[in-house]
Structure 1
């Protein structure tokens, strides 16, 4: 979903960009979902001086330009196979509800098209798609995600949840808002057979530039989830 059509997201993003821009940086960066390390916790920063890695019990996956090309629900076989490996990982195999698709298209409104996309993904992947409450699209849907995982016995600790997606202003920011971890798919969705085709839009490319400036020029890093404090 274009950022300009999601006014609450735009306001929140601008507030962070002006007052605490490091919070828009992800805790880990990968090219695409196909590169997601398993176990996922090993890709995240240490949570104490001994180098201990976080415990991960739940995974939130974006759809558009992460699982599949933008504004479609068409899955490539390589991504389906990757999801199977993720599901079989000990971090997520303990509970069939431990992986949740959260999209600002599929399942995000009562429109027939968005509901059809959600049902298509659930049927094809066997993964649940969050039905977002009106007015609480990413990055404002964090409480609904936490409630989902708690209700299904996955976890009630936001520090055990990792959000994975292609957008700093939605996927990374919702993780920051709820006190969870974020992994950024920098290149978005790529077809392994035609990796040169770029599906990122204008705002995604601007976010890439912002991230490069923050890390390379200003030497900034993402803060730990706000529920953590280093000794």
Structure 2
């Protein structure tokens, strides 16, 4: 979903960009979902500078330009294989509800096309898709995500959740608002057979420039998740 069609998200992003830009930075950056390290906990920053790595029990996974090409539910076999490895990881194999797809398209409204995408993903991947309230799309659906994981006995601690996606303004900011960890897919979705094709739009590329300036130019890092 283009950022400009989600005006509340745009306003929140701009507020952070001006007043607390580090909050738009991810805790970990990878090229694509195919590079997601497993298990996730050891790849994340230490808790409170103690050297102790976080315990991870739940994963929030973006769809558009992370799991699938933008605005489709078409799954490449390489991504299906990766998801199977994620499901088998000890951090997530304890519950069928420990991995949740959260999209601003699939499952984001009662519209037939959004519901059809959600059902297709659930059938092909064996993963649940969050049915969002239309007024609480990313990055505002954190309370709904936390309720889902709590209701299904996965975790009630936001610091045990990782959000993976391609957008700073929705996925990374969602993690920030929840008090969770974020992993940013810098290049979005790429076809392994044609890795040079870039599916990112204007706003995604602008976010990449912002992240590069903040991290390489100013040496900023993402703040640790807010303590519960």
TM-score band, normalised by shorter chain? over 0.9
Q: Which residue matches 2:90?
A: 90
Aligned-pair CA distance for 1:110? 1.0
With the length of structure 2 as denominator, give the TM-score of the two structures. Answer: 0.99
CA distance in 2, matches of 1:112, 1:98: 26
CA distance in 2, matches of 1:81, 1:202: 30
Q: How does 1:28-67 map to 2 (within 5 A)?
A: 28-67=28-67
CA distance in 1, matches of 2:190, 2:165: 13
Q: How does 1:154-193 map to 2 (within 5 A)?
A: 154-193=154-193
Q: Which residue matches 2:4?
A: 4
Please give the secondary structure, in 1, of the residue aligned with 2:163: strand
With the length of structure 1 as denominator, give the TM-score of the two structures. Answer: 0.98
Q: Which residue matches 1:112?
A: 112
Q: Which residue matches 1:227?
A: 227
Q: Is 1:74 the counterpart of 2:74 in the alignment?
A: yes
CA distance in 1, matches of 2:67, 2:50: 35
Q: Extract unaligned runs of 5+ from structure 2.
A: none
Aligned-pair CA distance for 1:49? 3.6
CA distance in 2, matches of 1:33, 1:97: 20
**Over aligned residue pairs, what C-alpha RMSD do you find?**
0.8
Q: How does 1:137-156 map to 2 (within 5 A)?
A: 137-156=137-156
- Runs of 4 or more, structure 1, over 4 Å off, are none
Aligned-pair CA distance for 1:190? 0.3
CA distance in 2, matches of 1:222, 1:50: 17
Instruction: Report how many aligned residue pairs link the two structures.
Output: 228
Please give the secondary structure, in 2, of the residue aligned with 1:113: helix
Please give the secondary structure, in 1, of the residue aligned with 2:17: helix
